[in-house]
Amino acid sequence: MRIIKLGASITASNDKDAAALRARLKESGTLLVNVMSSAGSGKTTLLSRLICDLPDFDIGVMEADIESDVDAKTIEALGATAIQVHTGGMCHMDAGMTTAAFDEMGGTHDLVFLENVGNLICPAEYDTGAGCNLMILSVPEGDDKPLKYPLMFRESDVLVITKTDALDYFDFDMDRCIERARFLNPKIAVFPVSAKTGEGMQPLEAWLREALDKWRN
C-alpha cells in the first residue's frame, strides 16, 4: 500500500495544470472521473460496486483523505489499483495534486476514479483535470441540498442519488430533488441508485461506458 502526502499546488494557475492533465489523459484514452460528495454519502461503496460490475475495465482509484488508508485498502481488496493520497489537511484536491497522484499510480487504466475529500463545498471550486465530474447525494442528506450547495450541482456532469433503499425512512422527495438539480444544471445526468442492493446501477454503468467511448473518440 503506497501512501503519498500532498500539499496544495504552488503553481499559479490551477486551470493550466488541469488542462495539461486532461490533454495527457485524452492522449492515453483514460477517463478520469472526479467523485465528489459529503463524507459518508457512499463514495467508496459506489466505487466498490462499479469495480465489481465492470470487470472488463482496468480501473484505478485515487483515494484522497486528510488521514487514514481505509478506503484504499477496501478498493485494493477488490483487485483494482488503489493509491491513498493524504492532502495535508486540505479539504479538496487541485489539479497539481491530482497530477502527482496520477503519476504515482502509474500503469494504464480505462477508468480512473478520484474519490475527492468529503464535502460539498471546496471540491467544486477546483478543476482537477478530470474528464467528468460525478457527484453523489445520498437520501439521508435531504432533497434540499441543491439549494444549499448550488456550485457542486452546477459543476457536475452526473448526479448519483444513492441509498434509495432507505427512501421509506426519510422525507426525501426524489422528483423535487431532481427538479432542483436540473434548475441549476439542465444538462446534468441523474441516476438514483442503491449501491447496497445494486438497484439502478445498470443505467449508471451504461452511461459510464458511453462516456468512455466519447472520451476516446
Ligand X SMILES: Nc1nc2c(ncn2[C@@H]2O[C@H](COP(=O)(O)OP(=O)(O)O)[C@@H](O)[C@H]2O)c(=O)[nH]1
Question: Binding to Mg ion by residue 87, rule CB under 5 A?
Answer: no
Provide the minimum distance between the beta carbon of 204 and ligand X in the complex, in angstroms, as a whole number: 12
CA nearest neighbour of 89 among 117, 127, 112: 117
Provide the minimum distance between the beta carbon of 202 and ligand X in the complex, in angstroms, as a whole number: 15
C-alpha–C-alpha distance, residues 130 and 30, integer Å = 10
How many chain residues interact with Mg ion (CB under 5 A)? 3
Cβ distance to Mg ion smaller for residue 63 or 127: 63
CA nearest neighbour of 43 among 66, 71, 67: 71
Question: Which of Mg ion, ligand X, none does 146 bind, CB closer than 5 to 8 A by kind?
Answer: none
Question: Which of ligand X, Mg ion, none does 41 bind, CB closer than 5 to 8 A by kind?
Answer: ligand X
Question: Binding to Mg ion by residue 141, rule CB under 5 A?
Answer: no
- 39-47, 81-89, 106-114, 157-165 -> range binding Mg ion (CB under 5 A): 39-47
Q: Is the dihedral of CA 214, 138, 200, 115 positive or negative?
A: positive
* Burial bucket for residue 50 (CB in 10 Å: 0-12, 13-18, 19+): buried
Q: Which residues of this protein are in contact with Mg ion, per CB under 5 A? A: 43-44, 71
